[in-house]
A and B are shown apart, each in its own frame.
Chain A
Amino acid sequence: MTSIAEALLVIGWFVLGYYLLVNGMYLTVHIAALFELRSDLKRQAAGTMYQRFSSPFFPGVTVVVPAYNEEAVIVESVQSLLNLNYPELEIVVVNDGSDDETLSRLRSAFDLHPIDADVPFEIPSEPIEAVYRSEDAPGLRVVDKENGGRADAVNAGIWLAEQPLFCTIDADSIIDRDGLLQAVEPFLERPEETVATGGTIRVANGCTIENGTIKSVNLPDNRLAGLQTMEYLRAFYSGRLGLDRLNALMLISGAFGVFRTDLVREVGGYETESITEDFELTLRLHRYLREQDRAYNVEFVPEPVVWTEVPESPATFSRQRRRWYRGLLDTMARHRKMIGRRRYGSPGVFGYPAFLLAEVLGPLVEGFGYVLVPLAFLIGAADASFVLLYFGLTVGFGVFLSWFGILSEVWSFRRYDRPKQVLRLLGYGILENFGFRQWKTLIAWRGLYEYLRGDTSWGEMQRSGFDSD
Chain B
Amino acid sequence: MSNASAVSFETLSLIGVFITGLLAVVGTSTVARSVLSARRDNRLADVRPQVRQALLSRMEATDPGWEAWVGGLSGTERRVAEDLLEEYLHRIRGGDRESLQQLGYALGIGEKARRKLHEGDHLERRRALHWIARLDIDVTIETLEATCGGHPETRAAAARVLYEQDRANATEEGTELLLRGTGPLSVLGMDTLYQLNKLSPDLLFTRTKESYHEWSESRLIQVLRVIGTAGPASPDTPLDWIGFLFVSESPNVRVAAANALVGYGWHDGVRSAIEIEQVRTDDSPPVRQAVYQMLGSWDDEASVNALRNALRSESNTRAAIDAISALGERATSIPESELTPASSAARDWVLASTEPTRSETEQ
Contact = CB atoms under 8 A, between A and B. Distances in A.
Interface in B298-342: 317-318, 320-321, 342
A192 B191 contact: no
Contact of B33 (A112, A386, A404, A410): A410
A383 B6 CA distance: 7
Contacts of B226: 57
Interface in B26-41: 26-27, 29-31, 33-35, 37-38, 41
Nearest to B20: A396
Interface stretch (A115-123, A301-309, A334-342): A115-123
Interface stretch (B180-188, B202-210, B275-283): B180-188
Interface string B233-249: 00000000000000000
Interface residues of A, number: 65
Interface in B180-237: 184-188, 190-192, 194-195, 218, 221-222, 225-226, 229
Contact of A423 (B23, B31, B345, B348): B31
Interface stretch (A183-191, A245-253, A456-464): A183-191
A98 to B, nearest CB: 17
Nearest to A187: B187
A219 interface: no
A117 B353 contact: yes
A403 B24 CA distance: 10
A389 B38 CA distance: 38
B294 interface: no
B8 interface: yes
Contacts of B23: 396, 399-400, 403
A417 interface: yes
Given A118-B349, A407-B29, A423-B31, A57 B194 contact: yes
A25 interface: no
A55 B195 CA distance: 9
A39 interface: yes
B38 to A, nearest CB: 6
B16 interface: yes
Interface stretch (A40-48, A312-320, A436-444): A40-48
Nearest to A184: B187
B194 A56 contact: yes
Interface string B153-185: 100010010001000000000000000000011
A399 B346 CA distance: 61
A59 B157 CA distance: 20
Interface string A226-239: 00000000000000
A388 interface: yes
Given A121-B317, A386-B7, A49 B2 contact: no
Given A191-B186, A389-B15, A119 B6 contact: no
Contacts of A418: 34, 38
A407 B30 contact: yes
Interface in A193-217: 193
Nearest to B16: A392
B357 A133 contact: yes
A118 B130 contact: no
A5 B31 CA distance: 45
B63 interface: no
B30 A410 contact: yes
Nearest to A55: B191
Nearest to B38: A419
Contacts of B133: 49
Given A5-B2, A121-B317, A57 B191 contact: yes
Given A56-B194, A403-B23, A189 B33 contact: no
Interface string A132-171: 0101000000000000000000000000000000000000
Of the candidates B12, B133, B192, the one having the most CB atoms from chain A within 10 angstroms of its own CB is B12
B142 interface: no
B126 interface: yes
Interface string B34-50: 11011001000000000
Nearest to B5: A385
Contacts of B8: 385
B129 interface: yes
B267 interface: no
Given A385-B7, A392-B15, A407-B33, A400 B124 contact: no
B160 A50 contact: yes
A120 B37 contact: no
A400 B12 contact: no
A446 interface: no
A397 B23 CA distance: 9
B35 A419 contact: yes
A333 interface: no
Given A1-B2, A400-B19, A407 B26 contact: yes
A298 interface: no
A49 B164 CA distance: 9
Contacts of B362: 107-108, 112
A419 to B, nearest CB: 5
Contacts of B184: 190-193
Given A117-B348, A135-B357, A400-B23, 14 more contacts: A42-B124, A50-B191, A57-B226, A58-B187, A118-B348, A190-B184, A192-B222, A382-B6, A385-B9, A396-B19, A403-B27, A404-B26, A406-B30, A419-B38
The 3 closest A-B pairs by CB, nearest first: A192-B218, A117-B352, A386-B6
22 contacts: A1-B2, A1-B4, A46-B124, A49-B130, A49-B160, A49-B192, A50-B195, A55-B187, A57-B226, A115-B352, A115-B353, A188-B188, A189-B153, A192-B221, A193-B184, A381-B2, A382-B6, A389-B11, A389-B12, A396-B20, A419-B34, A422-B31
Interface of A: 1, 5, 9, 39, 42-43, 45-50, 55-59, 107-108, 112-113, 115-122, 133, 135, 187-193, 380-383, 385-386, 388-389, 392-393, 396-397, 399-400, 403-404, 406-407, 410-411, 414, 417-419, 422-423, 426
